[in-house]
A and B are shown apart, each in its own frame.
Chain A
Amino acid sequence: MSIATDSAAVSALPRTVLELTVNNHPGVMSHVCGLFARRAYNVEGILCMPIGDGTCSRIWLLVNEDARLDQMIKQTGKLHDVRTVRRHPATHDVFVQLEAFFRE
Chain B
Amino acid sequence: MTTLTGAQLIVRLLERQGIRIVAGIPGGANLPLYDALGQSDRIRHVLARHEQGAGFIAQGMARATGTTAVFLATSGPGATNALTALADAKLDSVPIICITGQVPRAMIGTDAFQEVDTYGMSIPLTKHNFLVRSAADLLKIIPEAFRIAASGRPGPVLVDVPKDVQCETVSFETWPEPGSADHPPEFDAAAVARAAECINRAERPVLYLGGGVVYGGASDHAVRLAETALIPTTMTLMGLGAMPPDHPLSMGMLGMHAARFTNLALEECDVLIAAGARFDDRATGKVAEFCPNAKIVHIDIDHSELDKIKAAHVGIVGDVRAVLEQLLPQIRREPRPAWLERVEALRRTYPMDMPGIGDVRTPYGLIAETARCVDGAAIIATDVGQHQMWAAQAYPVRRPRQWLTSGGLGTMGFGLPAAIGAALACPGRAIVCFSGDGSLLMNIQELVTAVEENAHVKVIVMNNNSLGLVHQQQDLFYGKRIFASDYRVAVDFCAVARGFGMRTADLGATDDPAGLLAEALAAPGPCLIHAPIDVNEKVYPMVPPGAANRDMVAHKAVAG
Contacts and interface: CB of A to CB of B under 8 A. Distances in A.
A34 interface: yes
A103 interface: no
Contacts of A70: 307
Contact of B120 (A30, A74, A77): A30
B119 A27 contact: yes
Interface residues of A, number: 15
A31 interface: yes
A6 B148 CA distance: 42
Nearest to B304: A74
Contact of A38 (B124, B129, B131, B307): B124
Contacts, number: 28
B123 A31 contact: yes
A70 B306 CA distance: 11
A80 B120 contact: no
Contacts of B131: 26-27
B342 interface: no
Contact of B304 (A31, A38, A75): A75
Interface string A51-75: 0000000000000000000110011
Contacts of A31: 123
Given A27-B131, A80-B128, A80-B148, A34 B123 contact: yes
A49 to B, nearest CB: 21
Contact of B303 (A38, A74, A79, A81): A74
A77 B303 CA distance: 10
A88 interface: no
A70 B124 CA distance: 19
A78 B304 CA distance: 8
A27 B124 CA distance: 12
A82 B124 CA distance: 15
Nearest to B119: A27
Pick the most buried of B123, B128, B148, B307: most chain A CB atoms within 10 A of its CB: B123
B128 A34 contact: no
Contacts of B308: 71
A82 to B, nearest CB: 11
Contacts of B302: 78
Nearest to B129: A27
A34 B304 contact: no
Central interface residue in A27, A31, A79, A80, by most chain B CB within 10 Å:
A80
A83 to B, nearest CB: 14
A38 B87 CA distance: 14
A81 B129 CA distance: 10
Given A27-B131, A80-B128, A71 B120 contact: no
A75 B148 CA distance: 16
Nearest to B307: A70
Contacts of B129: 27
A46 B61 CA distance: 42
A31 B127 CA distance: 11
Interface in A1-43: 26-27, 30-31, 34, 38
Contacts of A74: 303-304
Nearest to B133: A25
B304 A71 contact: yes
A102 B420 CA distance: 59
A30 B117 CA distance: 12
A27 B132 CA distance: 11
Contact of A30 (B123, B128, B303): B123
Nearest to A81: B128
Interface in B298-312: 302-304, 307-308
Contacts of B124: 34, 38
Contacts of A77: 304
A80 B159 CA distance: 14
A74 B302 CA distance: 9
Given A74-B304, A75-B304, A81-B128, 10 more contacts: A26-B131, A27-B120, A27-B129, A30-B119, A30-B123, A31-B123, A34-B123, A70-B307, A71-B304, A78-B302
Interface of A: 26-27, 30-31, 34, 38, 70-71, 74-75, 77-81
14 contacts: A27-B119, A27-B123, A27-B131, A30-B119, A30-B120, A34-B124, A38-B124, A70-B307, A71-B307, A71-B308, A74-B303, A79-B128, A80-B128, A80-B148
> 5 tightest A-B contacts by CB?
A74-B304, A80-B128, A34-B123, A38-B124, A75-B304
